[in-house]
Chain A
Amino acid sequence: MEIVSPGRFIRIEEAILDPGEVFKLLNSSEPLLSVVDIVKRFDGVTAVNRVSFDVGAGEVFCLVGPNGAGKTTTLRIIAGLIEPDEGYVVFEGRRQPWGPGVRRLIAYIPEDAGVYRNLTGFEYLETMARLYLGEMWGDAVRRAAEISGLGVRLRDRIGGYSKGMKRRLLLAGALMINPRLLILDEPTAGLDVTHATAMRRMILDYVRGSVATAVVSSHNMLEVSYMCDRVSLINRGVIVESGPPKELLKRYRVENLEEVFVRVTGGGL
């Protein structure tokens, strides 16, 4: 069953929301996630300085910047893993800190996320599905197995997987719990074209299909133009420019986002 709505296709059987809810979400102007003026200092160095942005339902928001710009810290704060020194984060109208009920709706994959090397792919998915979904874990694991595209390798221990396979497993595990908010830190860093493309496809399909929200960090400007609805360029903990990728290109009259970044920051870090 497919519901056609302006520009978006929603596969209802994959969404955890009922159709009425979906329409409400699509028509609402309220952002799903609001990051308001967050500041985080480490030993006098301000890693994140007054960062604010809103992300709506069905939107992929990207945080782009060089290494050390404050992307990871921002995502960790959104995930609720660390507390900001100032500012706050609101998700679906609820301010942090969030209890297990809200955390159930959030999937976060850190940049250097590790794996339980001695579990098999299936065992990992089963563990996560049971912790997040309880009794309904069976279907979720089947779905994740399909999304991951890892096939029979899911029966092997994760320790033997390539980097790309590990990332796909983690992403499939994150998507199978039907998160409303997906936080991905450099999801394709260090992956080859095949794995990176597959990962992007998985993320986009999910966000569009389930009207979820994704906050993705990346230092790969090309990737950003492919998958982000809106971008914020961050440098030294400060957001220096924001907007849809195409608009930014137009505004600065350049070929790609890298040039926008160089223009905005003056080229230096």
Chain B
Amino acid sequence: MRRLYVLAVKEVKELIRDRYVLFSVILAPLLVLPLLSGVSYLAVREAGGALEKAIRELPGNVAVVLEDPGDEMAVEVARRLGARVEGSVEEAVARYPTVVVLHSNFTKNILEGKPAVVTITSRVERPYSLVEVAIVTSLAQGLRDVVSIVLIERFNIDPRLIRTPVIVESKVLYKGELLGGARLTQLYVLNLALAFIIFILGVIALQVGTLSVGTERESRTLELLLMLPISRVELIAGKVLGVSTISLMGFASFLVGLSITILLAPVLFAEGFKGVQQPQTTMHLSPIELIEALRTTSVTSMVVVVALVAIAIAMVSTTIVGILVGVLLAGDIRGALVSGSYIAIILAIPLLVEMMGLSLPTPLQIAFITSPMYPPFKTAQMIVFGETGLATAYAIATLINVTMLLGITVLMVKSERLIYGIRLRKPRVEA
């Protein structure tokens, strides 16, 4: 027993006094979950609030246009929606954020078992926002519910007897342009894809960055590197270039994996979807439709260039952060991997939020700017979605971020610090 105790004490002392273990086992787990859940909570609260507000204000914001003002069921649906009835679509669209058009032969079609057609036109501010897309989707669902209620109460018909009572065509008015559901999805996916790419590439780049310093330290090659007849900036630039190449290779292999998954998805999940009633909205996309939507997305070359520049800047600045984390926290390869992973998760949180297009309270957005991946992404997002003012602001933030990072790194990559590492106390005896 005694020996066991001595052995255990040695183990605890040896491990807990290692500053890399201290960070990866004690500090990082303490931070990561509260940070993740804290940000998720704020994002969800903000999103919930926006959704609630939109639904509360909906009756006042919805106008109904009846193609056939005499249609009994259409009139009843309009009444129950609590919306104003407008004469012409053009006028209604100009004045109301949401316009529901009940097409002619509404009653006749339903009673004959054919679907009645409804067009919902909603104005959106941010087509990449999950909340706004959710509002558009929930409108369609709400409308279907109203039709069901009218069928039961006024016509005594069980709506379940009718396979598809209504087809809802959702249209979105964005900056004066009328988008179909598919186009809206494309814009949403465009934002999602950009955030996703920067997220994955950033996580890879940060880890490779810490690893490159950890490896040098473990194999004791740092001094050779520091003696090279090159400037410190060149040294860092060379590292960044090498690390970026590896990161891109890692990302390419990730893309191959993703493509295989997407291509296999219809086959793999088709079985599971059998028998599931698909909601009849154009908003819904099956994997095959998603691929089709992506294929037909008219991404302009401007968007591609902006996205590539943002991705490159995000990758380079994240790599620099990785190198910095390596200098501060990676005593060896193991330390580099663990600290790299945790810091990568923490710095990638903003991108997780952006993938869903959730809006956040301003203080949190400002905090996010410190993540090397966030300002480049936001700049690209704002350019793509035409918010010039915000795009400029985020571009400036990106510039400040990169400059500060470079400055800190050049200061931190001092040979003394690299050789001895960052210590709470300097070594007592060094020969």
Set of chain B residues within 8 Å of A103, measured between Cβ atoms: 227-229
Set of chain B residues within 8 Å of A71, measured between Cβ atoms: 431
Decide yes or no whether B426 CB sits under 8 A from chain A: yes
Stretch touching chain B among A20-28, A53-61, A114-122, A196-204: A114-122
| Chain A interface size, under 10 / 10 to 19 / 20 to 34 / 35 or more | 35 or more
Stretch touching chain B among A74-82, A187-195, A206-214, A243-251: A74-82
Set of chain B residues within 8 Å of A82, measured between Cβ atoms: 415-416, 419
Contact partner, A73, options B219, B221, B415, B430, Cβ 8 Å: B430
Contact partner, A115, options B219, B427, B431, Cβ 8 Å: B219
Contact partner, A131, options B221, B229, B419, Cβ 8 Å: B229
A115 with B415: CB separation less than 8 A: no
A100 with B229: CB separation less than 8 A: yes
A73 with B223: CB separation less than 8 A: no
Decide yes or no whether A215 CB sits under 8 A from chain B: no
Chain A, residue nearest B415 (CB): A81
Interface centre among B228, B419, B431 (most CB of A within 10 A): B431
Complex CA gap A45/B427 in Å reads 9
B229 with A43: CB separation less than 8 A: no
Decide yes or no whether B274 CB sits under 8 A from chain A: no
Chain B, residue nearest A65 (CB): B431
Decide yes or no whether A160 CB sits under 8 A from chain B: no
B220 with A114: CB separation less than 8 A: yes
Within 8 A of A (CB), among B197-247: 218-221, 223-224, 226-231
B428 with A116: CB separation less than 8 A: no
B220 with A100: CB separation less than 8 A: no
Chain A, residue nearest B231 (CB): A100
Set of chain B residues within 8 Å of A104, measured between Cβ atoms: 229
Set of chain A residues within 8 Å of B427, measured between Cβ atoms: 42-43
Decide yes or no whether B160 CB sits under 8 A from chain A: no
Decide yes or no whether B425 CB sits under 8 A from chain A: yes
Decide yes or no whether A165 CB sits under 8 A from chain B: no
Decide yes or no whether B367 CB sits under 8 A from chain A: no
Complex CA gap A68/B221 in Å reads 22
Decide yes or no whether B276 CB sits under 8 A from chain A: no
A81 with B428: CB separation less than 8 A: no
A43 with B425: CB separation less than 8 A: yes
Contact partner, A42, options B219, B223, B229, B428, Cβ 8 Å: B428
B219 with A114: CB separation less than 8 A: yes
Decide yes or no whether B302 CB sits under 8 A from chain A: no
Decide yes or no whether B429 CB sits under 8 A from chain A: yes
Decide yes or no whether A112 CB sits under 8 A from chain B: yes
Contact partner, B416, options A45, A47, A81, A100, Cβ 8 Å: A81
Main secondary structure, interface of B, reads loop
A68 with B229: CB separation less than 8 A: no
Set of chain B residues within 8 Å of A67, measured between Cβ atoms: 431
- Return A89 CB to nearest CB of chain B, in Å: 14
Set of chain B residues within 8 Å of A72, measured between Cβ atoms: 430-431
B223 with A113: CB separation less than 8 A: yes
Chain A, residues 227-242, CB within 8 Å of chain B (1/0): the string is 0000000000000000
A81 with B419: CB separation less than 8 A: yes
Set of chain B residues within 8 Å of A170, measured between Cβ atoms: 224
Interface centre among B218, B224, B226, B231 (most CB of A within 10 A): B224
- Return B332 CB to nearest CB of chain A, in Å: 12
B419 with A76: CB separation less than 8 A: yes
Chain A, residue nearest B418 (CB): A81
Decide yes or no whether A35 CB sits under 8 A from chain B: no
Contact partner, B227, options A45, A73, A106, Cβ 8 Å: A106
Chain B, residue nearest A83 (CB): B416
Set of chain B residues within 8 Å of A69, measured between Cβ atoms: 431
Complex CA gap A72/B226 in Å reads 16
Decide yes or no whether A70 CB sits under 8 A from chain B: yes
Decide yes or no whether A261 CB sits under 8 A from chain B: no
Decide yes or no whether A110 CB sits under 8 A from chain B: yes
Chain B, residue nearest A72 (CB): B431
Contact partner, A45, options B223, B419, B429, Cβ 8 Å: B429
Complex CA gap A71/B430 in Å reads 9
Set of chain B residues within 8 Å of A68, measured between Cβ atoms: 429, 431
Complex CA gap A112/B223 in Å reads 10
Chain A, residue nearest B427 (CB): A42
Complex CA gap A83/B416 in Å reads 8
Chain B, residue nearest A107 (CB): B227
Q: Assuming A81-B223, A82-B419, A83-B416, is B431 touching A73 (CB within 8 A)?
A: yes
Decide yes or no whether A101 CB sits under 8 A from chain B: yes
Set of chain A residues within 8 Å of B425, measured between Cβ atoms: 43
- Return B39 CB to nearest CB of chain A, in Å: 39
Of the A-B pairs whose beta carbons lie under 8 Å apart in the complex, a sample of 16, sorted by A's number, is A42-B429, A42-B430, A45-B428, A70-B431, A72-B431, A81-B226, A83-B416, A99-B231, A100-B229, A100-B230, A106-B227, A108-B227, A113-B220, A113-B221, A113-B223, A131-B229
Identify the 5 closest CB pairs spanning chains A and B, nearest first: A114-B220, A104-B229, A68-B431, A114-B219, A100-B229
Query: Which B residues have a C-beta under 8 Å from some C-beta of A?
Result: 218-221, 223-224, 226-231, 415-416, 419, 425-431
Known: A47-B430, A110-B220, A115-B219. 6 other contacts (CB 8 A): A47-B429, A82-B416, A101-B229, A113-B220, A116-B219, A170-B224
